[in-house]
Chains A and B, each alone.
Chain A
Amino acid sequence: MSDSLSDAMNPQRSFQALILTLHRFWAEQGCVILQPYDMEVGAGTFHPATTLRALGPKHWRAAYVQPSRRPKDGRYGENPNRLQHYYQYQVIMKPSPANLQDLYLRSLYAIGIDPSLHDIRFVEDDWESPTLGAWGLGWECWCDGMEVSQFTYFQQVAGFECSPVAGELTYGLERLAMYVQGVENVYDLNFNGLDGDDKISYGDVFLQAEQEYSRHNFEAANTEALARHFKDAEAECKSLLDFGNKGEGRHQMALPAYDQCIKASHLFNLLDARGVISVTERQSYIFRVRELAKACGEAWLRTEGGGA
């Protein structure tokens, strides 16, 4: 399959080709290929194309890459596997098609994982996001003992039952690429698939960023400002929800309000990385973000996109 491809477009040679191959595959399944959401999020699930679109009766299919930020996972670029910024490839299909497992396996085949050579397994993993008030049942997908994806049937999002249920796939792109490229250190990933002077590695693109952001996340971020911003985002979210609430009719501002919820969530993650949140406070922060997410989900269900 890959013989006819140039190195630049070979998913086993280049990180970007892995992404492009997945785009191509999921586009053929009728997914809209979206671009990353332009805000800092902890996971692809936070993209409104997943969180909000998972709610309500309307059919929906989308795929996109989402840069994901986990400030606490920063390792100053010194750990070969852990990053505070990484890419998730996210697929959402509502309602979940009957052959979703099969589609997933075919997507692996497309990026060069031949099931006749590998040991692919679906291992129980119940997913829960306390900040999104969401949970679902599914699996970790293992390839030769390595977790390469998460597979979830959403049951509840923002505190609301999903009706119908959406299927969500999340591929850890770096890890998957490391496996298909056969490298042990994420920074050694070949990003553009070329060799010699033309080669651009993952480290060339991201190592400096990992170092700088690790310093930022653990040492420099102004915790007082962050705490203030959190309060501001929380207040803004509520006031936008009030503004868009026109009584009985449709809600008019679910999406901008949800942006503020995303913002609050990221600010909480930064505060957490700075180690200034005690165990009790932690619970209360999570609760506050969840309340925002629930209110946004409720508003969304009263918009056109939410099926109102």
Chain B
Amino acid sequence: MPDLLLELFSEEIPARMQRRAAEDLKSLVTHALVERGCLYEGAQAFATPRRLALHIAGLPVHQPDVKEEKKGPRVGAPQQAIDGFLKGAGLTDIAQATIQTDPKKGDFYIAIVESKGRPTADVIADLLPGIIKSFPWPKSMRWGKASGEQGALRWVRPLHSILCTFGSDTEVPEIIPFDVDGLRSGDITYGHRFLAPTPIHVRRFDDYVAALEKAKVVLDTDRRKAIIVNDARDLAFAQGLELVEDDALLEEVAGLVEWPVVLMGSFEERFLDIPPEVIRTTIRANQKCFVLRQAGSNLLANKFLLTSNMIAKDDGATIIGGNERVVRARLSDAKFFWETDLKVKLEDRLEKLKNITFHEKLGTQYERVERIATLAQDLAPVAKADPALARRAARLAKADLVSEMVGEFPELQGLMGRYYATRQGEDPHVAAALEEHYKPQGPSDGVPTDAVSIAVALADKLDTLIGFWSIDEKPTGSKDPYALRRAALGVVRLVLENDIRLPLEAHKIDTHLIAFFHDRLKVYLRDQGQRHDLIDAVLASGQQDDLLMIVKRVEALDAFLASDDGANLLAGFRRAANILKAEEKKDGKSYNEAIDLHLLKGKGEGEEKVLADVLDVAARHAKDHVAHEDFAAAMKALAELRPAVDAFFDKILVNAEDPDLRANRLRLLASFREATRAVADFSAISGG
């Protein structure tokens, strides 16, 4: 069975796009082949900075033959219909068709049309140009002379050559010939840009990988990653150091080299005065280098690891020297920023926030800080924080935005605030809050647990949400430019994971925003595996502005429904609700009205009297328990209804002949329905 080898050789592909592009190439080509009947045994795609490669193993030599039956007109149909049929089926004479007899419709013609499968190589030659021309790069470009023409080929960067061979291991593979915008496919590739630039003839995947390896190209990204990380660990170990692992950086670096060579550089020890996060950020963001720490400790070493793409003649001495120069310059800047920043107290920076617009319609950062400070102070009691500390922390929370360091490295916001606050002797809770109030940044980020941090984090997020709601900038569909969903999820997590009671209405959150919180809460609970119908049932049972209580109610409901009593009560509820639904529709009125006790006493039967009696007690108890937030007890109170409900349905005919009696029984069922609403809207609970 033959294999396909395809390589698209270009100028440097952005690291962040390589993996996805390889996957796209694989799925586009394999789907197109399968669609044309060419099944395969296995496929693998690869990417380096300069190439995408695809190997598909075990393809058929030919597409399978296809036999198709074409149904024609009945025997004796007008000539016109017969001619049309012949033409469509590719026949010259009606004698070539067979006649089939159908007991109902009589005799009619059938043509067996056989199409021979084409050679797979031809199929591939036909489909590849289209895939290449419409390749889904996130951003693509035109180049060169051809870019003056309409419909010129677009690629991520200029595409230089295409290698495409097809054949089994027992034969010399053929080149699959095709042409994309003047670029002809062939069997040539190129090795490392500097170490092996001459053309290489390739036959098939095995010798391709080997030839590239010889030409200083490691084709597989994961293998490059493994080489980098192993060499990095070894180099670190030899110096008594440990690599500070960084997966995102590793992935990026592996996309910047075809032949990784890890080298160690160093910087002056005096730079170790700078906070370690700053050193790491500087070296990582600007230089794409790894930092190292002393084995078994958190102290950074004055060393770094760079991943070059070169086996240099001087064993890398020049490369290391150059990188050290840049690292030194960067760290000098960082040290300068750090020392300059320490000269100005955080509170003295606040004036500058007046020059930063938070949002055109929501004023400056300064005004925002004022709002957050007030809000944090108000929220302090619910978070069990000292209001003065919460206010202080909130006032300083954004001061580091106008520091030199954060100006240079925005990703250090918060962290720098904490360092500067610690240095100027702020309360440790305040200092921590400056960093932690941004948290949680997403579903997997940690939630602060310190009371002051919680108060400021809540204030920060609520102010954002209230503000954008007030100017009608709400997320729509996939658009959420101000990350409001994340802010709301942040509030949800802060509240739930810290067991905080936060009555949203009391903090001027309007019903639309509360509904937005409900949506986020649902997403959050669903991710935790909670049934969303139970959440709906609780939310539908009335005004719910306390997220923690909603969750407690959902949990109680879940436990209740899992019990026998709960399941039976639910069944009883459904029966009552169904009867009511039908009868209320029939009568065109609701039976949510007081039971006629006189009538009940006079004409009612035993079971309905009992139900009315226990219903009254259970409803009162359930409400009391809900008021005390003991949801489990409220459910239990409702569960007491079960025997009475069961007996009622057993013995009582709701649709009594006496219309008054019937109405009163419907009222009774309606009160039962109403009583359950004290804990949840049972009608929102899905069946089964």
Chain A contact residues, CB within 8 Å of chain B: 57, 80-81, 95-98, 101, 115-124, 126, 136-139, 143-146, 153, 155, 162-165, 167, 179, 184, 275, 278-280
Please, which residues of chain B bring their CB within 8 A of the CB of A124? Answer: 12, 14-16
**Max count, chain B CB within 10 A of own CB: residue among A164, A167, A179:** A164
B218 to chain A, nearest CB (A): 16
Kindly identify which residue among B144, B194, B306, B321 contacts A95, using a CB–CB cutoff of 8 Å: B144
Stretch at the interface among B308-316, B485-493, B570-578: B308-316
Kindly identify which residue among B15, B144, B319 contacts A119, using a CB–CB cutoff of 8 Å: B319
A164–B145 touching, CB < 8 Å: yes
A144–B147 touching, CB < 8 Å: no
| A116-B313, A145-B327 as given contacts; A165 in contact with B16, CB under 8 Å | no
Closest to A124 in B: B14
Please, which residues of chain B bring their CB within 8 A of the CB of A97? Answer: 144
A119–B357 touching, CB < 8 Å: no
B312–A118 touching, CB < 8 Å: yes
Assuming A146-B322, A153-B142, what are 6 further A-B pairs, CB within 8 angstroms? A96-B143, A137-B139, A139-B12, A145-B306, A165-B143, A278-B355
A165–B141 touching, CB < 8 Å: yes
A164–B318 touching, CB < 8 Å: no
Please, which residues of chain B bring their CB within 8 A of the CB of A280? Answer: 357, 360
Judge if B326 is at the interface, Cβ distance under 8 Å: yes
Within 8 A of A (CB), among B120-170: 139, 141-148, 156-158, 160
A119–B309 touching, CB < 8 Å: yes
Please, which residues of chain B bring their CB within 8 A of the CB of A139? Answer: 12
**Max count, chain A CB within 10 A of own CB: residue among B12, B306, B313, B321:** B12
Bound-complex Cα distance A143 to B318 (A): 10
Please, which residues of chain B bring their CB within 8 A of the CB of A144? Answer: 318-319, 321-323, 325-326
Please, which residues of chain B bring their CB within 8 A of the CB of A143? Answer: 322
B470-513 to A contact mask, C-beta < 8 Å, 1/0:
00000000000000000000000000000000000000000000
A98–B160 touching, CB < 8 Å: yes
Kindly identify which residue among B148, B326, B356 contacts A279, using a CB–CB cutoff of 8 Å: B356
List 6 A-B pairs, minimum CB-CB distance, nearest first: A144-B322, A124-B14, A164-B148, A145-B323, A122-B12, A119-B308
Bound-complex Cα distance A243 to B321 (A): 58
Please, which residues of chain A bring their CB within 8 A of the CB of B157? Answer: 137-138, 153
B313–A184 touching, CB < 8 Å: no
Closest to B286 in A: A145
| A95-B147, A144-B322, A163-B147 as given contacts; A155 in contact with B141, CB under 8 Å | yes
Judge if B622 is at the interface, Cβ distance under 8 Å: no
B270-299 to A contact mask, C-beta < 8 Å, 1/0:
000000000000000001110000000000
Please, which residues of chain A bring their CB within 8 A of the CB of B11? Answer: 101, 122
A80 to chain B, nearest CB (A): 8
Bound-complex Cα distance A167 to B310 (A): 26
A118–B139 touching, CB < 8 Å: no
Bound-complex Cα distance A96 to B313 (A): 32
Closest to B157 in A: A137
Bound-complex Cα distance A307 to B318 (A): 48
B52 to chain A, nearest CB (A): 16
A118–B319 touching, CB < 8 Å: yes
Judge if B34 is at the interface, Cβ distance under 8 Å: no
Kindly identify which residue among A57, A119, A126, A146 contacts B139, using a CB–CB cutoff of 8 Å: A126
Please, which residues of chain A bring their CB within 8 A of the CB of B147? Answer: 95-96, 162-165
Bound-complex Cα distance A137 to B141 (A): 7
B441 to chain A, nearest CB (A): 24
Chain B contact residues, CB within 8 Å of chain A: 11-12, 14-16, 49, 139, 141-148, 156-158, 160, 194, 256-257, 287-289, 306, 308-310, 312-314, 318-319, 321-323, 325-329, 332-333, 355-357, 360
**Max count, chain A CB within 10 A of own CB: residue among B142, B157, B333, B355:** B142
Closest to B14 in A: A124
Please, which residues of chain B bring their CB within 8 A of the CB of A164? Answer: 142, 144-148
A163–B357 touching, CB < 8 Å: no
Closest to B11 in A: A101
Please, which residues of chain B bring their CB within 8 A of the CB of A279? Answer: 356-357, 360
Bound-complex Cα distance A98 to B10 (A): 11
B194–A117 touching, CB < 8 Å: no
Closest to A116 in B: B313
Please, which residues of chain A bring their CB within 8 A of the CB of B145? Answer: 95, 164
Kindly identify which residue among A117, A126, A155 contacts B318, using a CB–CB cutoff of 8 Å: A117
A117–B314 touching, CB < 8 Å: yes
| 19 A-B pairs with C-beta separation under 8 A | A57-B148, A80-B332, A95-B143, A96-B144, A116-B313, A117-B314, A118-B312, A121-B12, A123-B256, A124-B15, A137-B141, A143-B322, A144-B322, A145-B287, A145-B319, A146-B323, A164-B144, A179-B322, A279-B360
Please, which residues of chain B bring their CB within 8 A of the CB of A153? Answer: 141-143, 157-158
B144–A165 touching, CB < 8 Å: yes
Please, which residues of chain A bring their CB within 8 A of the CB of B360? Answer: 279-280
Bound-complex Cα distance A143 to B310 (A): 11
Bound-complex Cα distance A101 to B157 (A): 11
Bound-complex Cα distance A308 to B523 (A): 59
A98–B158 touching, CB < 8 Å: yes
B366 to chain A, nearest CB (A): 13
B376 to chain A, nearest CB (A): 25
A118–B309 touching, CB < 8 Å: no
B193 to chain A, nearest CB (A): 8
B312–A117 touching, CB < 8 Å: yes
B318–A118 touching, CB < 8 Å: yes
Bound-complex Cα distance A163 to B148 (A): 4
A300 to chain B, nearest CB (A): 17
B313–A117 touching, CB < 8 Å: yes
B319–A121 touching, CB < 8 Å: no
Bound-complex Cα distance A59 to B226 (A): 47
Bound-complex Cα distance A80 to B336 (A): 12
A145–B289 touching, CB < 8 Å: yes
Closest to A145 in B: B323
Kindly identify which residue among A98, A120, A138 contacts B144, using a CB–CB cutoff of 8 Å: A98
Please, which residues of chain B bring their CB within 8 A of the CB of A80? Answer: 329, 332
Bound-complex Cα distance A23 to B145 (A): 25
Please, which residues of chain B bring their CB within 8 A of the CB of A121? Answer: 12, 256-257, 309
| A115-B194, A116-B194 as given contacts; A184 in contact with B144, CB under 8 Å | no
Bound-complex Cα distance A279 to B156 (A): 34
B326–A145 touching, CB < 8 Å: yes
B639 to chain A, nearest CB (A): 61
Please, which residues of chain A bring their CB within 8 A of the CB of B332? Answer: 80
A30 to chain B, nearest CB (A): 15
Please, which residues of chain B bring their CB within 8 A of the CB of A162? Answer: 147
B224 to chain A, nearest CB (A): 14
Please, which residues of chain B bring their CB within 8 A of the CB of A184? Answer: 325, 328-329
B228 to chain A, nearest CB (A): 14
Bound-complex Cα distance A115 to B321 (A): 15
Please, which residues of chain B bring their CB within 8 A of the CB of A136? Answer: 141
Please, which residues of chain A bring their CB within 8 A of the CB of B142? Answer: 153, 155, 164-165
Please, which residues of chain A bring their CB within 8 A of the CB of B144? Answer: 95-98, 164-165
A119 to chain B, nearest CB (A): 4
A123 to chain B, nearest CB (A): 6
B326–A146 touching, CB < 8 Å: yes
Please, which residues of chain A bring their CB within 8 A of the CB of B257? Answer: 121
Kindly identify which residue among B287, B309, B313, B329 contacts A81, using a CB–CB cutoff of 8 Å: B329
Bound-complex Cα distance A118 to B158 (A): 24
Bound-complex Cα distance A137 to B139 (A): 9
Bound-complex Cα distance A139 to B10 (A): 14
B634 to chain A, nearest CB (A): 53
Please, which residues of chain A bring their CB within 8 A of the CB of B323? Answer: 144-146
B43 to chain A, nearest CB (A): 27
Closest to B261 in A: A119
Bound-complex Cα distance A195 to B145 (A): 47
Closest to A98 in B: B144
A140 to chain B, nearest CB (A): 11
Bound-complex Cα distance A80 to B323 (A): 17
